[in-house]
Chain A
């Protein structure tokens, strides 16, 4: 099942935040979550949503999915701690 189809344990809203807060807040939230739990992040900073956050997840081997909402101009990121 795709990550986006299951209910997140926490939702983090970083809309409007400047670089690097979306990444920083995501890191902070993930540290508090246990393994197997999922975080959903709303992010509208392109460099964070498409570059720094996915790269951070890849490095930490967290499952990552991204849905870009073209009509709203932001991304929903689904991150599951391994």
Chain B
């Protein structure tokens, strides 16, 4: 197949599959975190399955040499997973801000995008707000804050990105075994083999999201020139920039771009574009797509939430998927820290927005 065609088709297929699975499975990391406060762990169990599947799959692909990446000359060589550098202040503060934003916006990084396909215009507003927040932090008035927070970087040894295994100096599979062993009793506290009354069971949803995440690592490396995997913050920024400015401005070290229709699109910007369409297809088959809009005050809150999400995600280095699933699976310390603070930010906002108002 022609390389540009493979580039486009693989990106659209991965994004479409993700959107389909998210819609069909009602997968939502926001509610996975939130419902913990109400002692419902069902969605969290689905998320944990997705994380464990992605950790094992991604690291297996890496160690088996099934990932590849482009070197300086553009030639394909054996690749590694993309592990984010540890910038503690940015990971902590950005993660926390992002966690608060997703409650206001009514959906996480993946949630707001796939729900565009279900027809609620609030999520169109959230996605535009998300990009606006990302852009003001990456290029605009918050750039000095972003640069200050990311200026302090922590290494292991000379210049190695800290991971859960290299900070204690063990083989990464020992860490993976420990995480898996901890996850199994949690997942089996509910019955993962119980058939759902309707749609996909929570365990199947977790498994499918994990499989798509692993496939995305492979496809992004094979067709996009780097094992970036699933994420939303960077790809959404790249999509908007390609469409409005003519260039994704993606770092080649992260993912490759190709010229289409006179603009330079990154592989990830194509994948992210397909997510709402995959969700639309799933929703259409279930007769669930309908154009709708919430009351004005809620729409305003969603816009604000989207902007806050964008600021937080850009500072933290990713959203609940980029850091919370893909990043976490690379075992980079930065992703585990950012995701932990996203959960704390989520709980803080849930308290102020949802728990306290219930008391009166």
- Where the two chains meet, the residues of A that have a C-beta atom closer than 8 Å to any C-beta of B are 15-21, 24, 27-28, 44-47, 50-52, 54-56, 59, 68, 70-74
Contact = CB atoms under 8 A, between A and B. Distances in A.
Interface string B272-300: 00000000000100111110111100100
Contacts of A16: 120, 122, 292-295
Interface residues of B, number: 37
Contacts of B30: 19
30 contacts: A15-B292, A16-B293, A16-B294, A16-B295, A17-B295, A18-B106, A18-B107, A18-B120, A18-B122, A18-B298, A18-B302, A19-B106, A19-B107, A19-B111, A19-B115, A20-B31, A21-B294, A28-B358, A45-B118, A46-B23, A46-B286, A50-B26, A51-B43, A52-B35, A55-B42, A59-B40, A70-B287, A73-B287, A73-B290, A74-B290
Nearest to A46: B288
A46 B287 CA distance: 10
Nearest to B112: A18
A6 B287 CA distance: 26
Contacts of B292: 15-16, 44
A71 B183 CA distance: 42
A52 B35 CA distance: 9
A46 B118 contact: yes
B26 A51 contact: yes
B106 A21 contact: yes
A19 B298 contact: no
A70 B187 CA distance: 34
Interface in B74-131: 105-107, 111, 115, 118-120, 122-123
B237 interface: no
Contacts of B358: 24, 27-28
Contacts of A17: 294-295, 298
Nearest to A52: B31
Contacts of A52: 31, 35
A44 B106 CA distance: 14
B6 interface: no
B285 to A, nearest CB: 11
Contacts of A55: 40, 42
A73 to B, nearest CB: 3
Contact of A20 (B106, B198, B293): B106
Contact of A18 (B23, B119, B123, B197): B123
A6 B122 CA distance: 34
Contacts of A15: 292
